[in-house]
Amino acid sequence: MSTTTTRLHALGDRLDVTIEDVLVWGAVVGAELLVVLVYLLASSTTITEPRYAIYPFVWINVGLLAVSRTSLPRRGRRVRALALAGAGAYLLALLYLGGLLRPGFVTPLGPGTDFRVSWVLPGWGPIVVFRNSLLQAVVVPFKLAGYLAFTYLLYARLLDATKGVLSGVFGLVSCVGCTFSLLVPLLGASTFSAVAWLSWDVSTLVFLVTIALLYWSPEIGTALSKRTGRSAS
C-alpha cells in the first residue's frame, strides 16, 4: 500500500468516512452535475460565473451530510417539546428573514391567489411561489435545504444541552452558531445590492462556518471547557 493511500485511509478514519460514504456522495455529486448539464443543454443557458452554479449544491450537500451524521439523543417528552418549540421559532425566523415566508399581517399581499413555478438553474430552482391575501411562501431549493439543516442541527443541540455540566459552554457555542446563521438570509438579501456580486460568496462562507459550529459544538464545547478548567487551575 502506497504512502498516499495510507494517509487517505488515516484521514478517513479520523473523519469517520468510509469507502461507502465516498461512493454514495460521489454518485450524488455526479447526478447533480448531470442534471445541471441537461438543463444547460435544454435551455441554452450560459453560465458566466461557475461558482454561482456550484454554491446551491454546496448548501444542499453539506446540509444533508451534517444532518445524516447527527443523531438525536433520547430525552423526555417535555424536553423534546421545548427543543422543538425553540427550533420551530428559529426556522420561522430564518424563513422570514430569507424572504421565503411573508405573512399578510406584516406585508400587505393584495387580493387573489397566485401560484407559479419558475424553471431556473437546478439548485436555485425550480422556484415555487404561492401567494394569497394571508400568506406568501416561496421555495428556493438550496435556501430551504440550508435552513432546514440549521433547524435540525439546532434541535439536536438543544437536546444535547440538557446533558449536564458542559451545557453552559456548549450552549454558548450553539448560540453563536444559531446567531451566525441568522446572518445568512440577510447577506443574500436584496438590501445588499451594492455588493450583490459578493453577497452569495459571503453568505455561503457564513453558511459553512455555521454548519461547522452547530455540527461540532459538542467537541468545541468540551475543548473550551477543558481549556477553561486548565486556566483556572
| The pLDDT of residue 37 | 93
- pLDDT for 189 equals 47
Pairing of strands 101-103, 127-131: unpaired
208 is a domain residue: yes
pLDDT recorded at residue 193: 44
SS3 assignment, position 125: strand
Q: Which domain holds residue 184?
A: 3-74+140-232
> Is position 39 within any domain?
yes
List Cβ neighbours of 155 (8 Å cut-off, separation of 6 or more). Answer: 72, 83, 84, 86, 87
Q: 14 or 20, which is more confident?
A: 20
Domain count, the chain: 1
Q: How much is the pLDDT for 164?
A: 42
Q: Which of 182, 172, 106 is nearest to 151 (CA)?
A: 182
pLDDT digits (tens, 9 = 90+) for 113-141: 899 999 989 999 899 999 998 999 999 99
Confidence check: pLDDT of 86 > 70: yes
Bridge partners for 207 per DSSP: none
> According to the per-residue pLDDT averaged within each range, which of 80-84, 94-98, 170-174 is highest?
80-84
Collect all residues with Cβ–Cβ distance below 8 Å to 80 and sequence separation of at least 6: 159
The per-residue pLDDT for 3 is 59
Of 37-46, 83-92, 106-115, 157-166, the range with the lowest mean pLDDT is 157-166
Instruction: With respect to residue 166, please indicate whether it lies within any of the assigned structural domains.
Output: yes
Is residue 175, in this structure, part of any structural domain at all? yes
How large is the angle between the packed helices 217-232 and 141-160, nearest 10 degrees?
Answer: 40
Average pLDDT over residues 192-204: 63
Q: What percent of the chain has pLDDT over 90?
A: 26
Q: How far apart are CA 233 and CA 205, in angstroms?
A: 37
192 Cβ neighbours under 8 A, 6+ residues apart:
186, 199
Q: Which three cell numbers stand for residue 142?
A: 438550496
Phi/psi region, residue 44 (left: phi>0; alpha: psi -120 to 50; beta: rest), is left
Higher pLDDT, residue 196 or 108: 108
pLDDT of residue 179: 53
- DSSP assignment of 11-46: HHHHHT--HHHHHHHHHHHHHHHHHHHHHHHHHT--
pLDDT in tens, 23-74: 899 999 999 999 999 999 998 888 888 888 999 999 999 999 999 999 888 8
Asked whether residue 95 is assigned to any structural domain, the reply reads no
156, part of any domain: yes
Question: CA 149 to CA 156: how far, in whole Å?
Answer: 11
Query: Per-residue pLDDT for 144 more than 90?
Result: yes
User: Which residue's entry shows cell 477553561?
Assistant: 228
112: left (phi over 0), alpha (psi -120 to 50) or beta: left
- Average pLDDT of the residues of the chain: 78
Is the pLDDT assigned to residue 145 strictly greater than 90?
Answer: yes
* 53 located within any domain: yes
Grid coordinates standing for 200?
452569495
- The C-alpha cell at 80 is 423534546
Higher pLDDT, 162 or 174: 162
**Residue 97 within a domain:** no
Structure-block grid coordinates of residue 177: 452558531
Q: Name the band, by pLDDT with cuts 50, 70 and 90, for residue 173.
A: very low
